[in-house]
Amino acid sequence: MIIVLILLTIPVVTGCLPGTYTPEGQPATTCESCPTGFWKSLNGSEACNECESGRFNLAKERKSQCIETCAAGQSSPNSFTDCNICDPGKYQSEQESAVWKCKQCTPGLYSDSGSTSCKKCPKGTYQPDNQVRKIGVDVCKDCDSGKYNPNQGSSNCTDFPAGQYNTEKGATQITDGTLCEPGKYSDVVGASTCTGCPPGKFGSETGATVQAQCIPCHEGEYQDSSMGQSHCKKCSIGQASPPVKKGKSAVTKCVACVGGQYQDLFEAISYGCKYCSPGNFLLVVLWLFYCLFYCLFDCLFDCLFDCLLYC
């Protein structure tokens, strides 16, 4: 009689024990352990509970709530049994954090994998992408040529002003730019090169910002280069430069003096050829007639080539 009373006082266990459950479609007598990232503290066949975000359970018998949390620089998505380090460009600053998602570095900052904080981009670099990228970056970008950045933690770089240029990446200050040399100009900001004055013109100023600062060649001069020159060339003997009329193109070459004119200066400062005096012009005409007579009649065409060279 006593034994029967004892048996009646023992609680009857129905369903699965804590930490186990009955899979869907299986008999109620079938019990399996809660899977990774789940727990169950009561008897019964119902499903296990999923660990809350940022927590996981390392216990072999998953009878209680998940209590383990991630350290700084790590995160734990739902139902994970351990933590993942934060990707580059992201961070997690809280110790024993229940936050499962790593935070994104803001523009101008960067981070290595597993970081607890973000770092400022150094001078001469920038970082604009972190907020729009699914995965951040662990390096900052160098400022492009034509740009500079004197500050840390920037999301963009500054253009060099007009009249300057810069060919190197990663410039840190405005003095890294170079003024356009005489004969060249830059009418845009952020230039990596300067533009040369067109043919027929030259430039005398440093740091020119517009093409209007290019000057037409003076009388007796010309310029045939398109690379940008600081001075024009002088016409040689027997040549002169035509005058530049309003609305016409600048002088790109010298022209030879026509018959009856001459220019005896090697670097003529005048654009016009000089006229021969009447006596000198007559002598030239007589000399031409003499050469023609000699070649046609005296040489009798046998020495025509030599005669023409002589004349």
The model's pTM:
0.60
Residues of the chain with pLDDT under 50: 4-8, 131-132, 134-135, 247, 282, 300-311
Tell me whether the CATH fold assigned to 15-69 matches the one assigned to 71-160: yes
Q: How high is the pLDDT of residue 238?
A: 77
> Which residue from 21, 11, 17 is spatially nearest to 50, judged by alpha carbons?
21
Its CATH architecture, for the domain 71-160, is Ribbon (2.10)
| Structure-token match 């003095």, residue found | 175
Per-residue pLDDT at 309: 41
**Domain edges within the chain:** 15-69, 71-160
Q: What is the pLDDT of residue 189?
A: 96
Determine the pLDDT at residue 308. Answer: 46
User: Quick one: 15-69 is in which CATH superfamily?
Assistant: Tumor Necrosis Factor Receptor, subunit A, domain 2 (2.10.50.10)
Tokens 């981070």 -> residue = 111
